[in-house]
Amino acid sequence: MTKNSGLRIINGKVITPNGIVTGADVFVRDGKIMGTGSLGGPVGSNRVIDAGGCYVSPGFIDIHVHGGGGHDFMDGHAAAFLGIAETHVRYGTTAMLPTTLTGSKEELLHILDVYEQVLPRNVRGAQFLGLHLEGPYFAMNQRGAQDPRFIRNPDPAEYREILRRAHLVRRWSAAPELPGALEFARYAREKGVLVSLAHTDAIYEEVLEGWKNGYSLATHLYSGMTGVSRRNAYRYAGAVEAAFLIGDMDVEIIADGIHLPAPLLQLVYQIKGPARTALITDAMRAAGMPEGESVLGNIRNGMKVIVEDGVAKLPDRSAFAGSVATADRLVRTMVKTAGVPLVEAIQMITTTPAVILGLAGTKGAILPGYDADLVLFDGDINVRATMVKGDLVYENTDL
């Protein structure tokens, strides 16, 4: 099917911003949603897809993902980028931000080169929306599984060189309390880059200053950041509490049910709500792969990990070392484990990330004029088909 041919999706339960509509068809032409309605609606159709009673949802948008299908973006070659996009589209992800780990300046510049070269070939999987640089400006105490060899304070010469190519960078995560971190955020925002706080030792007051200078999003809330701490007998609110208290700060959560158990998922949902909370996979290369040994980061010199119990762990099992979630699992966890209504769980992985990225009006909803990024899934959130900008790029014939 080509984008220029009309398409009608019938017999689906359509997830719209106003709720779930049964008995409405979805009409697509030229890669765009034309509208919803009954038979004989706004456009003639050369092809009909029978949803068979499945849900028809906006495509899932993953704003923080490192890998999948045996690949990591830090592998630094086109096959890895394309392999990750083609892996996650099978699980409903129609758009993503390829995400780096800490690395040398040369390594980050190389990733920029590869990303720019691969963009024209990004046609069979989830659409790339720009790079997310996670690090290297982090607090050493909150590094998690990030490589300590490359953690450093913001270097104006370095980040200005990287941001000469700001058209390739959508987002940059850093710790706001570091020397020079506020100046870094202001510069990045001037270049149109979303700045988020991550792997940080900041207390509330430092996060608030970060917010005032451009840190508008909390990267994987709870992971790699402080909560309430005590210093010389006095208690201080941490980055977690700051994210809750700053009403206009968006947050993202790894909703695999392991990084955050059900009570914390419910707490984030109740305090921040679906309009301020984005679901992310934060997936490493083992997403979509069998459990066993794997590597976090570059396949040549990354950290060896073991994948078991639905998560990556350090070899000594002392800590998590990355998520292996896929987008369908995030929705399933929010609905079945955290008890969030399906429409709101879908909002958290479609409309909300689109708004965070400044893409409201083009992605994240089934509305006229929006990109025809669509997912069909059953009642257990098993993906039946995925469409990216009007192209049917994945179909599960086993369901």
Using CA atoms, how far residue 75 sits from 151, 155, 203, 326, in Å, is: 19, 24, 34, 20
pLDDT in tens, 365-393: 999 999 999 999 999 999 999 999 999 99
Residues 308 and 341 in one domain: yes
Confidence of residue 2 (pLDDT cuts 50, 70, 90): very low
Signed CA dihedral, 163, 168, 170, 174: sign only: negative
pLDDT in tens, 128-152: 999 999 999 999 999 988 989 999 9
**Cα 373 to Cα 60: distance, rounded to the nearest angstrom:** 8
- Together in a domain, 107 and 80: yes
How many CA atoms within 13 Å lie on the side-chain side of 295?
Answer: 12
The mean pLDDT of 205-211, rounded to a whole number, is 98
Instruction: Provide φ and ψ at 239, rounded to 5°.
Output: -65, -35
- CA-to-CA separations, 356 to 68, 212, 297, in angstroms, rounded: 23, 17, 26
Kindly state whether residues 344 and 370 are assigned to the same domain: no
Residue 272 has pLDDT above 60, yes or no: yes
Selected residue with higher pLDDT from 1 and 18? 18
3 pLDDT higher than 70: no
Using DSSP, state whether 110 is helix, strand or coil: helix
Query: Which has the closest alpha carbon to 55: 109, 12, 21, 108?
Result: 12
- pLDDT for position 231: 86
| Angstrom distance (rounded) from CA 365 to CA 162 | 33
pLDDT digits (tens, 9 = 90+) for 284-337: 999 999 999 999 999 999 999 999 999 999 899 988 988 999 999 999 999 999
The mean pLDDT of 175-192, rounded to a whole number, is 98
Residue 174 φ then ψ, to 5° = -155, 170
CA distance 375 to 58: 6
Q: At 146, which CATH number?
A: 3.20.20.140
Give pLDDT, residue 212: 98
Please report whether residue 255 resides in a domain: yes
Secondary structure (3-state) at 82: helix
pLDDT, mean of residues 335-356: 98
* Domain identity same for 195 and 88: yes
Q: Binning pLDDT at 50, 70 and 90, where does residue 54 land?
A: very high
Q: What's the total number of domains in the chain?
A: 2
Place 44 in a pLDDT band, splitting at 50, 70 and 90. low
Is 2 contained in some domain?
Answer: no
Q: What is the pLDDT of residue 144?
A: 85
pLDDT band at 1 (very low <50, low <70, confident <90, very high): very low
How many angstroms separate the CA atoms of 137 and 140, rounded? 9
Domain residues for 377? Answer: 7-57+364-395
**What is the overall mean pLDDT for the chain?**
95
> Across residues 271-296, what is the average pLDDT?
97
pLDDT surpasses 80 at 399:
no
Residue 366 to residue 36: CA distance in whole angstroms: 8
Q: What is the CATH number of the domain that holds 12?
A: 2.30.40.10
